[in-house]
Structure formats: structure tokens, C-alpha cells
Chains A and B, each alone.
Chain A
């Protein structure tokens, strides 16, 4: 009987036949050695089969859980839309009819108190509207996979400043914008980020001092660091970690307006682009919000390529 047929591993059997010939007469020692190698081959083959199967099952599991997650997100998105529609409609009704009644009342000579009361109702309804908008924005962030846009931050800031025109004018604020880079992200989110932070910088001003906001960028090897610096009321040390939590307010609603969601939205937007956001502040000495845009493979060093000349600062004055 041909000893070579005893080698169970087909690959090894073929290799040995090629090397020694089909009917080679192998010495006992050599054959013993070949049997050892045969066992090793079989051993590795067994391991390979087991691991290969495990990897297949595991990636199928991951695929399934990914599909489940996508489905859950879709359901959540639908739920959020429903809730938003159903909540917003009655508020709109309250708001509109409240305004109509105020108008009618003003025509006749009615008790001024009633007009005041009505304005509380309509203001409340308007705040609720804002809150729902913020909640929706917060809930939808990162729910769907969306494509990233190329965003020229210099252009984006111009739009933001236009949107905030009323607030800037009202407060006689100065916005200084240094040259900013082109980054990748979802532009409506990044717009919201800047709008919230610049809005805060103006809102939390010191009494009797016109707000001044400076936006600047520092380029590092793997990220852009953007700072938004103001001359406002500042933040106490103990509050610095908690300000990014939803519904966390440092100041009374009566003193400063807001939904309590603004910074938490900012944090979520930055988390979504895998950046970092933090705050540096001395109480009473102004605040700097700092966040990073990680550079990805598409990003090149582009501060200098942007449309803004480094010596030509854009200054948005109160006369926008």
C-alpha cells in the first residue's frame, strides 16, 4: 500500500507526491516527520474553518443589527415628525387666535390687564414653538445618514450674521470674523452651531457694555480649532462641564431667553462630526467657546485658499 495515501491533508499529499513522485518509497523516519506535518496542516485547517465560519456569522449579525437600527431610526424619525406636527398645530392656533383677540381688544377700550394676560399666553405659545423646533432639531441630529457638504465657513458666517441681524442691531453688537477654513459637514447643522454660539455670545452680555464677538481659527495637523470669544458675563468654574447638558440653564428664564437646548444641540453637532467642544471662561470676564473640525481625507489645508484676505477682516457692525 502506498504510504502517501495515509496523508489525510490533500494539499500536503499533493505537495509530497510532486516532490518525491507518485510511488516514492519513503523511509520510516521521513514518513513519521510527514505525519507530524500532516497533523499540523489539519490543525490549522480546522482552525481556519472555525474562524472563517465565526467571521461569517459575526458579520451577518452585524448586518442584521445595522438593518434593525436603520429601521428603528426610521420609526423614530416618523414618530418625531408626527409629534411635531400634532404639537405645533394647536400652538399655532393658540398663537394666531390670541393675536387676533389682542387686535380686536385694542380697537375697543377694554381693560389693559386683559391685553397683558393675552400677551402672556401668546408669548408662552411662541416660546413653546421655539422649544419644539429645538427639540426636533436635537432629536433628528444624527438620526439619518446624510451626505457631507463642502462648507466655506466664511460664507456661512455671513448668512448667520444676516439671520441674527435683528439681535445684532438690537444689542449694538460687533462681530469680528478672522479668515476661516473650508470644512466638511452638513451645512444646516453647522449653521445652527454658529447661530447658537454667536447668539449666546450676544445674549449673555454684561449690563451696559456692547457685546463684541470674535470668531477665529487655528489650524493644527489633524484639525481646525475654531474659537468664538465674547466680552459677556462669563461662566462660573463649576458650571463649565454641565452647560452642554440638555435643559441645563445657568441663568433664569426671565433674565435671558432660551430653550435650554442650544448648547446641547451644539455638542451633538460637534459629536456627529467627531470633533470636540469645550469652554474657557472667567466669571465676569467673557467666554470662549472652542470646537474642532477634524480634517478628513478630503480636507486640505485651506485657510489661505479661502476667499478672505487675512488682512481684511470682515466686521459685521450694528448697521447690518
Chain B
């Protein structure tokens, strides 16, 4: 596997950040960047001209992750040439389907072919119902293929997110990359580091990912009570207190982040379904626990012998972590770098949702507030 990385900023244009920057026959370019910059034709055309034969997968973000750490208002492009792995990409748009599950089903039928090893997904973070998408993607699991990935972000704006494949990115898209062949070793790890506190409450009124009531009381009012003065900064201040939800019969609780609030209907929209009857509990953080969560996510990517130093690590971390970690955001990337060593190329972004199973045996889940890592290496 050969990898080169470039970074684009408005001030300096494209700049290479790889030392031995040469790649002959790239198949894939992963492009993560600020929504406004990646929607510029010129930026896309420059990439297309440079890598005419490669599939260019683009996602808007709430912050980019590159080898050296966290960057913002930029584009990070990671170009990969696989030696022993074949790729197939596909794009679907939610407008062409009745729901996100159906869109995922289309992806499954397009990519399911002999020797499919792993699927990586980037999807619109505002228009796609992440929980339904993941349920649909779990049809891969029946064929023993795991899926990882994330939902696109839009800084702290929660306005619109863009995803694209070999085109200027646009809204409502889901792009999937299928990796074929058994010489690709894929690792993954997903950890949060949040702690639940206070009483457990039942979700008594909700619809899809919109929450109205907990224990028959208005959820938005409850959040305002908890936030005090910080309620003025809603919805971003609500990211300090995500909800942990646990449905009966599920193995582990899931964390749900607040995407937006509506004063008119007194409702809160979360980055995943909030089924009625599920128990929910507020969560709090401290920076150390979040950072060691990221470290554990990296540990979980290692193979049984802990020997494999991955060639590429794609880090997808929640926008909520960026908000609460503030200027210490680089820390969570640095601990991962320390785990993997210097040879691993790191890319990734801050997202509105992370996709990964809890472990090799479990189904794929939509997470929030986690650091979710996918590692790729060829043997």
C-alpha cells in the first residue's frame, strides 16, 4: 500500500505533507474537508486532474484529522494505491429511496461480491437516519462482512452536510467503498469514555430520532435546567450532556448526541433513533477519560499479536468530543499516534455519527461521542 497526503487551505492552496510523495497508480482518494471549501468546483477539479483514474470520496466535516493532529477550515486528501486489494465504490442518494434502510439495501446488493472483505461508509449527517442506515448495512454482517465509517459533519453549524463520489459533493448522499481480497487486514475500535450520572429515565414520547419527553416530562426543559446559563448556547451546549440509551435485550448502551432543538415543538433531534420505552441517562465527561477512550479505541484495532503497525488509520471522532475537548483536541489524536507508531498514516474527521460494531462478533451500530478508528494494512 502506498499513501500520500496533501492538505489544502485557502491561504496556501494544496501542499504535500508526505515525505516520499510519489504514487503511480492510485485507486482511492479520501477527501475530508470544510463544507464551503470542498464544494468549490476548482478544488475538486484540481484533485480530479491530479488523480484521474482514482475514485474520489469526499465528505464535509466538523474538523479534519491529519497525520500531525487536528486541523480546521482545510481539506485533507489521502491518496492510496493498493497492491493486493481491489476496490468497488458506489453512491446512492436518499431522495431515490423510501428510507435510509432501503438505501443501505441497495449498497449491500451493489457491493456484495466474492471476496468482499470490508465496507467503509461516509453518509450525509443531516438527512440520513443513521440508525436505519446501520440496520440496513447489517445485511453485510449476514455475509460476515463488517462495516465501519461515519456521518459527514458541518463544523458546529448542524446546517447541511455534503458527501460525494467522483463529483462535487452534495446533500443526501451515502458513499460506500468495498474492499476485496484477503490480503487486506482491517482493524477497528470504537470507544467513548463518557460516564452516566443521575436518574435513569424512560423515553415516554419520541418519534424516530426526535425526542419529546423523558419520564413524561419535557426533555428540552430538563436539558435547560441542567445547563443553567449555558442553555443560551443550545444546541451546541447540549453536547456536554449526551444521553446513554439502553434498549432491553441489547448488550451495551449507545450514546446519543443532540443535533438540534426546536423551541416551537419543544423537541430535541438526536443523531440516532430514540425508541419509546428505552431507558435513557444523562452522561458527563472529563477530558482524561475521553482521551483514554481514544487510546483504547486504538488498542482495540491491533490484531491478536499486537504486532501489526497499520499502514493507514482512519479516525472518525464525534463533533461533541471536539466541543468538549476544546483546545486539548490534539491530545486524543496524539495518544492514538503513540499507540500506532510513526509509520502509520493518519487521516479522518470530526463527524455527526460514527459507524462500527462493538466487537468482531456483534452487529454494526451507530455511535455518537466516540472515537472510532478503522485501520487498513496489506500483507
Contact = CB atoms under 8 A, between A and B. Distances in A.
Partners in one complex: yes
Interface of A: 36, 39-40, 43-44, 47, 50-51, 53-55, 57-58, 61-62, 65
Interface in B297-344: 324, 326-328
Contact of B327 (A36, A55, A57): A36
Contacts of A50: 227, 230, 240
6 contacts: A40-B327, A43-B327, A54-B197, A54-B282, A57-B198, A61-B198
B327 A53 contact: no
Contact of B226 (A36, A47, A54): A54
Contacts of A54: 197-198, 226, 241, 282, 284
A257 B285 CA distance: 58
B199 interface: yes
B225 interface: yes
B228 interface: yes
A117 B140 CA distance: 73
Contacts of B198: 54, 57-58, 61-62
A320 to B, nearest CB: 52
A43 B328 CA distance: 9
Interface in B215-249: 225-228, 230, 240-241
B284 A51 contact: yes
A248 B149 CA distance: 53
B326 A65 contact: no
The 4 A-B pairs at the shortest CB distance, nearest first, are namely A58-B198, A43-B326, A53-B228, A39-B327
B328 A53 contact: no
B197 A58 contact: yes
A54 B226 CA distance: 5
Contacts of A51: 284, 286
Interface in B275-293: 282, 284-287
Nearest to B286: A47
B326 A57 contact: no
Contacts of A47: 240, 285-287, 324
Interface residues of B, number: 19
Contacts of B240: 47, 50
Given A54-B197, A65-B199, 13 more contacts: A39-B327, A43-B327, A47-B240, A47-B286, A47-B324, A50-B227, A51-B286, A54-B241, A57-B225, A57-B226, A58-B198, A58-B199, A62-B199
Nearest to B327: A39
Contacts of B286: 47, 51
A43 B285 CA distance: 13
Main secondary structure of the interface of B (DSSP, over half): helix
A111 B32 CA distance: 100
Contacts of B225: 57
B270 to A, nearest CB: 18
B228 to A, nearest CB: 5
B169 to A, nearest CB: 33
Contacts of B284: 51, 54
Contacts of A36: 327
B328 A40 contact: yes
Contacts of A44: 287
B214 to A, nearest CB: 11
Contacts of A40: 327-328
Interface string B124-137: 00000000000000
Contacts of A55: 197
B59 to A, nearest CB: 28
A43 B198 CA distance: 24
B145 to A, nearest CB: 40
A51 B198 CA distance: 12
B348 to A, nearest CB: 23
A156 B36 CA distance: 80
Contacts of A39: 326-327
A50 B228 CA distance: 8
A51 B227 CA distance: 9
Nearest to A42: B326
A57 B241 CA distance: 13
A57 B223 CA distance: 10
A70 to B, nearest CB: 16
B199 A61 contact: yes
A65 B215 CA distance: 12
Nearest to A44: B287
A43 B227 CA distance: 16
Interface in B173-214: 197-199
A35 B13 CA distance: 29
Contacts of A53: 226-228
A47 B230 CA distance: 11
A53 B285 CA distance: 14
Nearest to A62: B199
A231 B328 CA distance: 70
A57 B221 CA distance: 13
A61 B214 CA distance: 14
Contacts of B230: 50
Nearest to A64: B199
A39 B328 CA distance: 10
A316 to B, nearest CB: 49
A141 B238 CA distance: 42
Nearest to A58: B198
A39, A51, A62: most-surrounded residue (chain B CB, <10 A): A51
Nearest to B285: A47
A50 B286 CA distance: 11
A309 to B, nearest CB: 51
A54 B238 CA distance: 12
A68 to B, nearest CB: 12
Contacts of B197: 54-55, 58
A49 B268 CA distance: 23
A55 B286 CA distance: 14
Nearest to B230: A50
A40, A53, A54: most-surrounded residue (chain B CB, <10 A): A54
A138 to B, nearest CB: 27
A50 B227 CA distance: 7
B330 to A, nearest CB: 12
A39, A47, A50, A51: most-surrounded residue (chain B CB, <10 A): A50
Contacts of A61: 198-199
